[in-house]
Structure formats: structure tokens, C-alpha cells
Structure 1
Amino acid sequence: MDFYIKKIVIHQLTTDDINLMLSQKPLTITPKIEAYFQKKLTKVFSADAKRGLLTEDNTFLSYLNDDFETASVSIAQAWKEEFVSSDSRKTNDLVFIQFDKEGIEHFAFLRIALKENLTHITNDGDKPIQLTQNTLPSATQAPDEALIINRQSHQYYLIEKRIKHNGSFANYFSENLLKVKPEQSLKKSIKMVEQTAQKVADDFNQDDFIFQSKMKSAIYQNLEEDQELSPKKLANQLFDSNLTARLTFVDELKDSIPESVKVADIDHSPQIKKMESQKLSLSNGIELLVPNNIYQDAESVEFIQNQNGTYSILIKNIEDIQNK
């Protein structure tokens, strides 16, 4: 993903004295700083993101005026009012970024918890190893929390954590600060699809290794070819010969996944990579790693159920074998 970063403002919350330290001016953007925050933004457009649309009357949206610095202060103060009730006692950088993605302006708010690290400081006598405060985590580490808003469509991408808030665990960011109910993330949706499919298959006596492989292939096809996760399509693929099972599967998911989950706007390559092959562990100790396109090809591999209940696997048309 390509991002053109235009402005960065960083405020800081020191949780020892609950003090919000406001920056007086935007950060000077060097190539290294730009590369660092581009990687952070990439982590938000991911399978971990909850998504949704902010309505025109949403209070949080009203903070986003044309003055970027003023907006960052208003949001930092509103966020602090909610966050101070949590049990977190780390110093946090509140990073606000104005950037373009595919020519469209976006607004980002990243909460990054700072760390303590040991640092080797040269020419410092007998104490070259010292503990440094306020160290930023690596660029490849996802922000602790993040919100990105498309300024044109008001679509948002949210990374939030359930934290202890006013004595109980809550998603304070979406519930209290944004006051929205976002769609669940793609990662969680996949997990719910898998759990529901296994439950339905078990209820209808279909839950065996063949069904597990079929489920993995179906989810892979949804994500790779259709660019979505559709309960209805999956129901037809997984329970094609059982109408009751199909209806049960869709009904079980209607509250958590009422519509197809679109994935074209987020990086879902880790989920595709995880499902692009079937890994089979056999009772005799043999393990097979079979790409999905071969697994589904009857001319390449065949699974045979023997009369005594055991299985045989026939691998066909092998031109060459290498020992790796």
C-alpha cells in the first residue's frame, strides 16, 4: 500500500501523573520517520481491523475540522477522558497523521505504548549500559490501538483492545469514544466461520478430515477468488447435499456475520497463505503438504476409504521426486 504522509503531530500521555503533553507544532518528516509510520499505517489496513461507517451526526467526526493540529488536540483530550479510567500505566505517544491513500485524504490516530530499553552508550565511563525511557517499538509492530478514517467516505478502520475500564473489561474505544458498533475483524470472522462449520458438521455427522479440508479450501477460495467471506456461499460449498445444514450454518452466523465480509481494501495475504495448502498428519507418522489446487484435482490426488474403515491416499502422475 502506498501512503503519502502530509503531516504528523505527536502528543503524549504520561500515565504516572495522568498528564497530557501537547505538541506545539507538527513533526519534521524525514525519510526514516516517514518509512516508520508508513509501516504502522499498513498494520491498520489488515485482517485485525474492525470496519464501519461514521454517520454525519457522529460526535467524533465533528472533531475533524480543517485545522489538523486543532483536531488532534480535541481528539487527544476526548480520548484521555476515556482512557484515564483504565488500568494502563504506560506512557503513550498519541500520533496523528494526515495522509493520502490512492489520492484520497485519510486521518489516522495511533496509540503507541512506549517502552523501556537497555542502551549501550559509548564514552560514559563505567556505566555504558543504561536504561532509556520512551523508546518506540519496532516499525513492524502494530500500534496498540489505531483509528483511520477516510475523509471522503467516512469509512473507518479500527484496531482496539479490550482493557480493564472502570472495573470491567470493555472495548472503550468503539463503545465510549466512537459510540459505534463496528463489524468484527476478518480474522475473527474466519475463526467464527470455522467454529460454526465444525459444530454444524458435527451435528450432522460430517466432521472428519475430509470436511476439514473442504472447509479450508472453501475459505481459501472465498478470500482469494471472490475477495469476500460469504456465509451463504460457504454454506453451499460445505453442505451442498444437505439443505437443513446449509440453513443452520447461515442462521448460526446471522448475528455475527449478517453480510459478506469484503476484503479487497485490507491486506489479507497472511490468511490466504495460511490456507493455500492442506497439511495432513497421518496416523503412521507421515505428513503431507498439498497445495489446494492439487488437493482438489482428482487427477493428482485421490482419497480412498477402505472397507475396514481405514484410508488410502493415491498420489498420481508424479514426474520427479526429490529428497529435500
Structure 2
Amino acid sequence: MIDLYIKQIIIHQFSPNDTDLYFADKPISITPKLDEYFRKKLAKVFTEDAKRGRFEEDNVFFGYLNDDLMTSSKKIAELWREEFVSSEDQKTNDLIFIQFDKDGVEHFAFLRVALREHLAHIDMDSDTPIKTTQNNLPSAAQTPDEALVVNRVSRDYYLIEKRMKHNGSFTHYFSENLLQVEPRQSVKKAIQQVEKTAQKIAENFNQDDFNFQSKMKSALYTHLEEEQELSPEKLANQLFEDNLTARLTFVDELKEDIPESIPVSDIDYSRQAKKLENQKLSLSNGIELIVPNNVYEDAESVEFIQNANGTYSILIKNIEDIRSK
């Protein structure tokens, strides 16, 4: 888990019944259990799902952050309510405000967590021992419904938001209305967009085969692990090295959503890396192969042979041991 030191937690609540806020009058006492729970919640924000950016010095929202967490939390909760109250399918929400240190630097967090109804075994002596309990917090492993974490020194932010029906149309009300920022695409979305665009370009230039798909997967994995970034320009050079037009088209189609390289050194992108670390091949005869990238690219380990009749043969070499699973 990321090394975080939680200093203070304040929890206000939004009720959908009267669309009102119920303000806490003091911070909660932080027990070891609560400390662990909220540290796990915060860690879910520093992931591949987060959009990122940096507040301008004159950003109005950033100006509401100060050393008095209670004052900041009440003001931001009120501003949030003004935007959220127009959304559909409202539920009871805890609005959690946290002051914490990460790597010795002070951070601010605002987590919106929708509370749940759960069945619980409450009374052994009753004919109906299982009852519905209200206002249950979700598990610590679950990403907050929406979240904002801000580095108070650098003004860098991490944002988890949902596209919600707001005033009759779907919008990212959190970033567009509340924060008034244009965050960078999340790493998860960026990877999906890169893959979709690369495949489209490859199809247009008749390069879309299993070799290209494998090359794309390997290139993405390498860029994340070794380069610690996602760069359309560098990927274009690797994926379409022999076709200048394809390279330029690839970069051009991504420039609006990914105008510059996306760094990944400050987030946990392990789920995406896991998806990319192996080549998964499904053969027409029903055989499926899972091959690690380093083995796949080693000619001394795996060789793909195109036969004269257009079919393929796969030669797997230098196997020391075979086990049945």
C-alpha cells in the first residue's frame, strides 16, 4: 500500500430524501481500523483509473482549500450539493474530507461514497434474524464513487469521476462544473484508445494480423514498464516504423485526447500491466497459448513459420520440463 499518514477526517452526509446536507461538528476519532480503511480508499485514487492534472494558481476551487479542514469541507460540500442535486438516481452519500501526508507532503482529499443497504444477521432469538441495515459503507477495496486528491504544494490532482445524467444530459459535472478543469485522460482509457486507434490504422494499411496485435501489446507493456509513460509518438515509431503516413495518422488521431506523453510513475497501473505482460493466442484448431512477452520475442524460444499454403506453424523450442495443470 502507498505510504500515507492520515491527520484528520471529517464526514458530512447528503440525504436524497430532502436533498440536504448534514454537517459534522468535529472530525472523527481515527481508530486503527478506520485508518486502514481510509488509507485503502485513498490508495484506490492513485491508480490507472484516475484522471490527472494541475490546478492553475487562480483556480476558484483550489482557492477554497486552506489549513482549516472543517471550513474547507463545508464550503466544498455546499458547492458539490449545488451541482449534484440536479443528478438522477440519488442515494445517501457520505462526503469524506481527509487531510493527509504522502511522501511528507500535505494532501487534501474529497471522497464521495454512496452508502448501501445490506442484509445482516442481527438477532439470533428472532424469527427474522436477518434484517436490512441502512447506510453501510462499501468495502475498503472498492474505488470511491467519486474522488479528488490534491497535492497542496504542487497543485497536482488525481480525479475519479463518473459521467452522470445531470440537468437532462450526461456530463462530467465534477470536473466541468465543480472543479472547472480539463483533466488528462486516465491511463486505463488512454491505453484503450491507443489500442483502438492502432488497430484502425493497421486495418487501413493492411497490417492488422496477429503479428501486429502482438507487437502492439508488447510495445505498450515496454513503454509502461521501461519508459514509465505512454507516448503516442514513440509508439507510432515502433508500431509503424516502415510507414510514415501511418505514423503521422496515428499521432494525429490521438492528439486531441492524448496531446502529450502520459506519465505513470506516480500511479499503480498493475492491472493494465498484467493484461499486457503475456501474449494470448487463440488458434483455429482450438489450441490457446499464453506466452510471456520476453519468451514471445525470443527467437530461441518461439518461432512462427508461415507455410507455403498460407497456414502457420508454431515451433516452441528448448523446453526443459512440461507439466499438466
TM-score category of the 2 structures, normalised to the smaller one: over 0.9
Partner residue in 1 for 2:276: 275
**TM-score with structure 2 setting the length:** 0.98
Q: Distance in 1 between matches of 2:270 and 2:306?
A: 34
Report the AA paired with residue 111 of structure 1.
R
Partner residue in 2 for 1:216: 217
Partner residue in 2 for 1:142: 143
In the TM superposition, structure 1's runs of 4+ consecutive aligned residues that sit over 4 Å from their partners are none
- State how 1:12-31 maps to structure 2 within 5 Å: 12-31=13-32
- State how 1:69-108 maps to structure 2 within 5 Å: 69-108=70-109
Is 1:55 aligned to residue 60 of structure 2?
A: no
Q: Distance in 2 between matches of 1:184 and 1:265?
A: 15
Distance 1:124 1:18, change over 3 A: farther
- State how 1:31-46 maps to structure 2 within 5 Å: 31-46=32-47
**Offset, 1:124:** 5.3
Q: Distance in 2 between matches of 1:268 and 1:246?
A: 26
8 Å Cα contact 1:51-1:156 kept in structure 2: yes
Partner residue in 1 for 2:288: 287
Q: Distance in 1 between matches of 2:89 and 2:78?
A: 17
**TM-score with structure 1 setting the length:** 0.99
Report the AA paired with residue 49 of structure 1.
A
Partner residue in 2 for 1:192: 193
3-state SS, counterpart of residue 29 of structure 2: coil
8 Å Cα contact 1:223-1:263 kept in structure 2: yes
Aligned residues: percent identity? 69
3-state SS, counterpart of residue 25 of structure 2: coil
Partner residue in 2 for 1:153: 154
> What do residues 145-180 of structure 1 show as CA deviations (whole Å, max 9, x unaligned)?
000000010000000001110011100000000011
> What do residues 119-168 of structure 1 show as CA deviations (whole Å, max 9, x unaligned)?
11125533322111100000100000000000010000000001110011
Report the AA paired with residue 279 of structure 1.
K
**Offset, 1:322:** 1.6
**Offset, 1:306:** 1.1
3-state SS, counterpart of residue 126 of structure 1: coil
Q: Distance in 1 between matches of 2:124 and 2:217?
A: 57
Structure 1, 24-33 or 85-94: larger mean CA deviation: 85-94
Q: How many residues align?
A: 324
> What do residues 200-222 of structure 1 show as CA deviations (whole Å, max 9, x unaligned)?
00010000011000000000000
**Offset, 1:316:** 1.1
Mind listing any 5+ residue stretches in structure 2 that lack a counterpart? none
8 Å Cα contact 1:5-1:97 kept in structure 2: yes
Partner residue in 2 for 1:5: 6
Q: Distance in 2 between matches of 1:65 and 1:36?
A: 25
